């Protein structure tokens, strides 16, 4: 019997479990660990609450989770409650699928001022991640600045811009909905340090900004290159740039008092304010050979709230080699050390779609098979599950199983606002109470 431990129950974790099951069938036992008592990682706490169709992929993970040879082991912090070395002694292979849950820092002067958040924290807040339930962003000012030209920046802009009614059918948590409903924000400026041809926004997500009931995207036509230049772009990016061109042609609409202003060629250089942020100082750039170059010209953008959406990094785990510059585990195509692997964002950094993790999961299982075949990892007897259960009893760990999770899910569904799929618990103790 092969025993495999997967750390992290998000998309990379469940696709990897599915791949192991497909490869070894009844000859494998997979334990999927999560620090939270609830599964699905990014699907639950990263994917926007108004993107329920993307979250539906959890149904696929549930199928894997409910099979006999895969087990969810929630509420266990690997690196704190249990060390990597403990898992390595019990399982033939340990696969880190921990994603990239922390913000990359901007490292700019003034970053410690109040009401400046990274997207991991801000998204975690509106998605009910227990770590960020008490973020309390202040939305009583008129100006918000969102830094970055990726899909997370779009999510944050859209959530800040929507009316309460536009959240119908979403699973945004109650505390965020209440705060957003009282928001006084009138202008959201999205800062991009490069130009329209370098945005990382996909057309579907960028297109959503054009269909908001009280907000209107605004692009400065002078920021756009001649239309013929778009011919060299790959089709997805060309569509996104075409949307920017449409937004540049838009006209003011009194029914849409909230503007989402694209400020391109604008690199943040410092935060200004006393106690709390009041402005972002920005340096004008131009793009040369694809890179942003500063012009030396600076100006200030009013900002009562700042959300920096410049990408994420993996949290290191004691004893696991880490590539600090790249912000992920040091690995060669998923291999970290003999018997220790990484998959998904923890291996390649935060890029691609949810679906990108599926081939990643299958590829890492192929590599593990190769490593068994070549003797890099021994197929000798390991205690696996039974050994872990003994360890958990010794350490008095309060483990949450998939069956417990289904009880939590039931309670969340029962507590949902009318039309919403669920009201998430945002407190770990409450999750555990619901589970029992």
Residue of 3, 162, 193, 424 interacting with ligand NAP (CB under 6 A) = 193
Q: Which is nearer to ligand NAP, 283 or 409 (CB)?
A: 283
Q: Does residue 151 touch ligand NAP according to CB under 6 A?
A: yes
Residue of 198, 242, 259, 276 interacting with ligand NAP (CB under 6 A) = 198
Closest separation between CB of residue 165 and ligand NAP, Å?
22
Q: Which is nearer to ligand NAP, 338 or 359 (CB)?
A: 359
Residue of 147, 212, 303, 320 interacting with ligand NAP (CB under 6 A) = 147
Closest separation between CB of residue 88 and ligand NAP, Å?
30
Closest separation between CB of residue 119 and ligand NAP, Å?
6
Q: Which is nearer to ligand NAP, 69 or 308 (CB)?
A: 308
> What residues between 323 and 362 interact with ligand NAP by CB under 6 A?
350-353
Closest separation between CB of residue 346 and ligand NAP, Å?
14
Q: Does residue 260 touch ligand NAP according to CB under 6 A?
A: no
Q: Which is nearer to ligand NAP, 207 or 421 (CB)?
A: 207
Q: Does residue 41 touch ligand NAP according to CB under 6 A?
A: no
DSSP 295-347: EEEEEEEE-SEEEE-S-EEPPP-TTS-EETTTTEE--BTTEEETTEEE-THHH
Q: Does residue 303 touch ligand NAP according to CB under 6 A?
A: no
Encoded tokens for 407: 């009880």
Separation in Å, CA 286 to CA 136, 227, 377: 36, 18, 51
Q: Does residue 150 touch ligand NAP according to CB under 6 A?
A: yes
Residue nearest to ligand NAP (CB): 150
Q: Are 279 and 301 in contact (CB under 8 A)?
A: yes
With CB under 6 A as the rule, give the number of residues binding ligand NAP: 27
- 55-83 in b/e burial notation, b at 16+ Cβ within 10 A? bebbeebbebbeeebbbbbbbbebbebbe
Residue of 194, 216, 358, 404 interacting with ligand NAP (CB under 6 A) = 194
Residue 148's contacts (CB-CB under 8 Å, 6 or more residues apart) are 119, 190, 191, 192, 308, 309, 310, 311
Q: Are 223 and 192 in contact (CB under 8 A)?
A: no
DSSP 362-382: HHHHHHHHHHHHHTSS--S--
> What residues between 48 and 67 interact with ligand NAP by CB under 6 A?
51
- Binding range to ligand NAP, per CB under 6 A, among 186-194, 230-238, 380-388, 420-428: 186-194
Q: Are 245 and 223 in contact (CB under 8 A)?
A: no
Closest separation between CB of residue 308 and ligand NAP, Å?
8
DSSP 12-76: HHHHHHHHHHHHHGGGEEEEEEESSSS--THHHHTS-TT-HHHHTTHHHHHHHHTSTTEEEEES-
Residue of 39, 49, 101, 148 interacting with ligand NAP (CB under 6 A) = 148
Q: Are 323 and 329 in contact (CB under 8 A)?
A: yes
Q: Can you tell me the distance from the alpha carbon of 342 to that of 329, in angstroms, rounded to the nearest whole number?
A: 7
Instruction: Kindly list the residues in this chain that would bind ligand NAP in the complex (CB under 6 A).
Output: 51, 106, 147-153, 155, 192-194, 198, 200, 202, 205, 267-268, 309-312, 350-353
């Amino acid at each position: 019997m092969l025993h495999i431990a997967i750390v992290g129950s998000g998309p990379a974790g469940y696709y990897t479990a599915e791949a192991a099951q497909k490869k070894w069938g009844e000859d494998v036992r997979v334990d999927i660990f999560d620090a939270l008592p609830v599964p699905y990682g990014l699907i639950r706490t990263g994917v926007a609450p108004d993107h329920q169709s993307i979250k539906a992929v959890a149904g696929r993970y549930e199928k894997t989770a409910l099979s006999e040879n895969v087990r969810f082991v929630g509420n266990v912090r690997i690196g704190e409650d249990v060390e990597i070395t403990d898992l390595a002694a019990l399982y033939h292979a340990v696969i880190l699928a921990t994603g990239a849950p922390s913000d990359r820092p901007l490292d700019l002067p003034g970053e410690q001022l109040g009401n400046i958040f990274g997207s991991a924290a801000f998204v975690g807040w509106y998605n009910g991640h227990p770590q960020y339930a008490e973020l309390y962003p202040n939305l009583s000012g008129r100006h918000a600045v969102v830094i970055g030209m990726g899909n997370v920046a779009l999510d944050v802009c859209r959530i800040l811009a929507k009316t309460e009614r536009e959240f119908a059918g979403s699973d945004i948590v109650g505390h965020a909905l209440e705060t957003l409903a009282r928001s006084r924000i009138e202008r959201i400026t999205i800062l991009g340090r490069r130009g329209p041809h370098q945005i990382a926004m996909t057309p579907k997500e960028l297109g959503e900004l054009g269909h908001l009931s009280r907000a209107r995207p605004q692009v400065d036509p002078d920021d756009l290159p001649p239309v013929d230049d778009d011919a060299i772009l790959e089709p997805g990016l060309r569509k996104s740039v075409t949307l920017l061109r449409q937004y540049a042609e838009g006209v003011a609409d009194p029914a849409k008092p909230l503007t989402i202003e694209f400020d391109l060629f604008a690199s943040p250089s410092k935060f200004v304010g006393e106690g709390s942020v009041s402005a972002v100082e920005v340096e004008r750039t131009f793009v040369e050979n694809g890179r942003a170059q500063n012009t030396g010209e600076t100006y200030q953008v009013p900002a009562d709230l700042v959300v920096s959406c410049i990408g994420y990094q993996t949290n290191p785990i004691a004893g696991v080699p880490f590539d600090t510059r790249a912000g992920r585990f040091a690995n060669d195509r998923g291999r970290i050390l003999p018997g220790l692997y990484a998959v998904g964002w923890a291996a390649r950094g935060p890029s691609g779609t949810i679906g990108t993790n599926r081939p990643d999961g299958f590829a890492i299982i192929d590599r593990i098979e190769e490593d068994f075949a070549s003797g890099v990892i021994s197929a000798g007897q390991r205690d696996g599950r039974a050994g872990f259960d003994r360890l958990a009893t010794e350490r008095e760990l309060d483990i949450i199983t998939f069956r417990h999770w289904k009880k939590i899910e039931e309670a969340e569904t029962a507590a949902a606002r009318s039309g919403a799929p669920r009201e998430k618990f945002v407190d770990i103790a409450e999750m555990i109470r619901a589970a029992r």
